[in-house]
Chain A
Amino acid sequence: MKQKLVIALSLILLIGVIFLIYNDLFNGNPADSTNATEYNLEKLKQIDSSLICYNEVITIDLTMESVNALTIDSNSNIYVAGDNEIQIFDKTLQKTHTIKLDSSANCLAVFDNTLYLGVGNYVEVYTSKGVKLSRWKSFNSKGYITSIAVNKTNVYAADAENKAILRYNLNGVLLNVIGKKDKDKSIDGFIIPSMYFDLAISAENELWVANPGKHELINFTEKGDFRTSWGIASMQTTGFAGCCNPIHFCMLSNGSFVTFEKGLDRIKLHDQTGKLECIVASFSDANAQALDNCSIGARVHDLATDLQGNIYALDAKDKKIRVFSRK
């Protein structure tokens, strides 16, 4: 009798084991969804809404695989570079035409209906209608131009590989090299850990350059002399976050700065002295909260502004231009 009971119990246990296996195989959860070692930037990305002074008013969807750069001319035409081409939108945000390129442009600037493109280590010049005018001699073979700006006398190209600003005249003659590391002149040089090296020309025709590794923006004279700089490293909104920021910036007509920081994916507005004025936008939506394997590389690939002071951000993740206007 006792033996029968033991056998019965054993067999019930055996059935139990089989049921456990069955249940785990067909109904089991693969693993729990909590991550004990999670790296979370959400708290830092949360921004007090009173600090946000811009509204996103329009988005323009782009039909490109990759988007690299954006600029706006004095007639409010928008130029977007990416995918071996440049797409041009007029001020009604309608695509007017496309310029096919031999290879992809990393950056572009427009002045007086002439397009200046940074392609690899050289500059190419097109008319705004797409006629190729010239290809300038490259500074050296290893160069890589990440940003370009132009005014009526100069073309400045930021070369991330050479860690210097190349100053050309409008005909492509190299005038001088700005900011190159030089111990004799006690120039520390730019610290550029990744291929982000931006510059801009202010309304007063002053050259401003981002030095991301030092978390600062520097003002140079035409001759390449240091004039002034500002910026501190901080995860707080007052400074620039992470190892190397800001990676993109543009300047408004009143001399204030619009900066974008990778990592925290935020666009901020600083006044002429560099003091934080307010936040333009912080990309902290539900999508960003999800695990994001595209986090390597920045979300915004370029910033631009029009004459009305609207801010245009080229969202590389969603392949959109997001337009922000002051509240």
Chain B
Amino acid sequence: MKNYLVKLILALILFIQAFNLYAVQRFPKPEFETKYSQPTMQTPCPRSVYMEYFDVAVLVASLSLITWLILKKRSRQGVFWTTIFSLLYFGFYRKGCICAVGSLQNVTMALFNPDYYIPITAIAFFIIPLVFTMFYGRTFCAGICPLGAIQDIFVLRPMPLKQWVQTILGLIPYIYLGLAVLYAATGTDFIVCRYDPFVGIFRHNGTFMMFAIGGVLLLIGVFVARPYCRFLCPYGVLLNFVSRVSKNHLSIAPGKCIECRLCENSCPFGAINKPTPTRNVEKRNVMVKRFAIYFVITPLLILLGGWTGSRFHENLAKVHPKVRLANELLLANNNKISSLSMEISTFKSMGKPLDKLYAEANIIIDKFYIGGWILGGFLGLVFGLTLVNLSVFQYRTDYTTNKGTCFSCARCVDFCPVKK
């Protein structure tokens, strides 16, 4: 029996070797007479991971520092200098990579694609700011995030926005987040990185598109403070949610608010809740009724959103290169486009059957059908909850920070006359 096994293994080894012999292309070596030795091939190794661990250490240290500066020292100046440090380190030195905003895609991809080894730093950059936010509010946004930091410096002539404008524009990040998750989960692309507005500036190198978006956003940011953070950032959606239930949070007044209104216009981001004027209070039963109605229509909105999303699944799938190629080939075969792109001519030269590509594209499109439902449903939910939120009346007597949208930048602190 044992003998038999040994023979079997031997045969297997021989078989594999024979296979190798024919699988490898052969080349007759020149017969050198001089003592020529062939140079060895270089296969340079990737950069060591210790540098990345160092990044994580810097993140934890700077986050602790800024949190301490905000909550204990209540020092805007300290926050400002930390902002400068982060901008230099995470921005210009580390060239905007790795960043927490993009890491949500790594996490999504790792959750959906078992073959992907997520870098440990990406997990750290995703989790650590959320953990800090859970306890202390969005201190990460205050000055650690390089994207926030570069915009914060450009907050020169901030002008207040109407509440309804803020609310409407505030829905965009949810769409962005939904798309980012959808494309990361399907392994299509990392769109947050692709449209990172400031990475081109950090790298001193990038496409025209990158610089255009970055430059325009900085310009807007002079008047409408931190437009990316408020109206685009998908990671901000998560931070917003977590910050709402944070254990501690920056308060404008260190002690009791004296309602002096000095801080009223100090926030460039419109994140200060004013005391509620008593005269506008609606009757309680009217509010409850409206709340109930919105509560009931939210599931309907989810369904409606999901259905709408699924209608657009083919458009969503078009971002995937394979689907786009299949689409282009369909058009080319119907003679709807005249000039052949490099993609089409390459595909034709590769000799891969068209049906196979179409089949592969269809599998991807099917994934996007499910993804479209989920994305649409998510947006419906967000829309519904926004409505519900609008109808929830919160009685406030003091000037307080809006825990969700406040970046904990501590600008308002300097305006408060209360000193303990």
**Cα A6 to Cα B348 with chains together (Å):** 52
Name the segment of B77-85, B218-226, B271-279, B285-293 touching the other chain. B218-226
For A17, the chain B residues whose CB sits under 8 A away are 197, 213, 216-217, 220
**Cα A6 to Cα B224 with chains together (Å):** 9
For A25, the chain B residues whose CB sits under 8 A away are 191, 194-195, 319
Partner of A163, one of B22, B28, B315, B319: B28
Partner of B227, one of A14, A26, A104, A294: A14
For A6, the chain B residues whose CB sits under 8 A away are 159, 223
Does A292 contact B159, Cβ atoms closer than 8 Å?
A: no
Interface residues of B in 166-214 (CB under 8 A from A): 169, 172, 191, 194-195, 197, 209, 212-213
**Cα A291 to Cα B344 with chains together (Å):** 10
With both beta carbons as reference points, the residue of chain A lying nearest to B157 in the complex is identified as: A6
Name the segment of A40-48, A129-137, A189-197, A220-228 touching the other chain. A189-197
Given contacts A20-B213, A163-B28, A195-B28, contact A10 B315 (CB under 8 A): no
**Cα A7 to Cα B157 with chains together (Å):** 11
With both beta carbons as reference points, the residue of chain B lying nearest to A159 in the complex is identified as: B28
For B341, the chain A residues whose CB sits under 8 A away are 29, 33
Given contacts A290-B346, A291-B345, A293-B350, contact A161 B161 (CB under 8 A): no
Interface residues of B in 227-268 (CB under 8 A from A): 227, 231-232
> How extensive is the interface on chain B, given as a class?
35 or more
Closest chain-A Cβ to B69's Cβ sits at a distance in Å of 30
**Cα A295 to Cα B50 with chains together (Å):** 42
| A60 interfacial by beta-carbon distance below 8 Å | no
Does A16 contact B27, Cβ atoms closer than 8 Å?
A: no
Closest chain-A Cβ to B276's Cβ sits at a distance in Å of 25
Closest chain-B Cβ to A185's Cβ sits at a distance in Å of 15
| B343 interfacial by beta-carbon distance below 8 Å | yes
Partner of B28, one of A35, A144, A294: A144
Does A292 contact B224, Cβ atoms closer than 8 Å?
A: no
With both beta carbons as reference points, the residue of chain B lying nearest to A189 in the complex is identified as: B31
For A7, the chain B residues whose CB sits under 8 A away are 159, 161, 223-224
Does A293 contact B165, Cβ atoms closer than 8 Å?
A: no
For A194, the chain B residues whose CB sits under 8 A away are 27-28
Does B28 contact A192, Cβ atoms closer than 8 Å?
A: yes
| B26 interfacial by beta-carbon distance below 8 Å | yes
Partner of A290, one of B27, B172, B213, B345: B345
With both beta carbons as reference points, the residue of chain A lying nearest to B31 in the complex is identified as: A181
For A103, the chain B residues whose CB sits under 8 A away are 22
Which of A6, A14, A192, A193 has the largest number of chain B CB atoms within 10 A?
Answer: A14
Mark A5-42 against chain B: 1 for CB-CB distance below 8 A, else 0: 01100110110111011001110011101010000000
Interface residues of A in 129-184 (CB under 8 A from B): 144, 160-161, 163, 181
Does A20 contact B209, Cβ atoms closer than 8 Å?
A: yes
> How extensive is the interface on chain A, given as a class?
35 or more
**Cα A294 to Cα B346 with chains together (Å):** 11
For B217, the chain A residues whose CB sits under 8 A away are 14, 17
**Cα A300 to Cα B417 with chains together (Å):** 89
**Cα A27 to Cα B315 with chains together (Å):** 10
Does B321 contact A30, Cβ atoms closer than 8 Å?
A: yes
For B227, the chain A residues whose CB sits under 8 A away are 10, 14
Does A14 contact B224, Cβ atoms closer than 8 Å?
A: yes
Does B348 contact A290, Cβ atoms closer than 8 Å?
A: yes
| A236 interfacial by beta-carbon distance below 8 Å | no
Does B318 contact A26, Cβ atoms closer than 8 Å?
A: yes
Does A18 contact B172, Cβ atoms closer than 8 Å?
A: yes
For A31, the chain B residues whose CB sits under 8 A away are 342
| B349 interfacial by beta-carbon distance below 8 Å | yes
With both beta carbons as reference points, the residue of chain B lying nearest to A191 in the complex is identified as: B30
**Cα A33 to Cα B311 with chains together (Å):** 32
Interface residues of B in 273-322 (CB under 8 A from A): 315, 318-319, 321
A-to-B contact residues, CB < 8 Å:
3, 6-7, 10-11, 13-14, 16-18, 20-21, 24-26, 29-31, 33, 35, 103-104, 144, 160-161, 163, 181, 189, 191-195, 287, 290-294
Instruction: Give me 14 A-to-B residue pairs in the complex whose CB atoms sit less than 8 angstroms apart, sorted by A's number.
Output: A14-B231, A21-B213, A25-B191, A25-B195, A30-B343, A104-B22, A160-B28, A191-B30, A193-B27, A193-B30, A195-B25, A287-B348, A290-B345, A291-B346
4 smallest CB-CB distances across A and B, nearest first, come from: A33-B342, A290-B349, A290-B345, A10-B220
> 12 extra interchain contacts, Cβ-Cβ under 8 A, other than A10-B223, A16-B216, A195-B26?
A11-B169, A17-B197, A17-B220, A18-B172, A20-B212, A21-B195, A24-B209, A30-B324, A161-B26, A163-B28, A181-B31, A193-B27
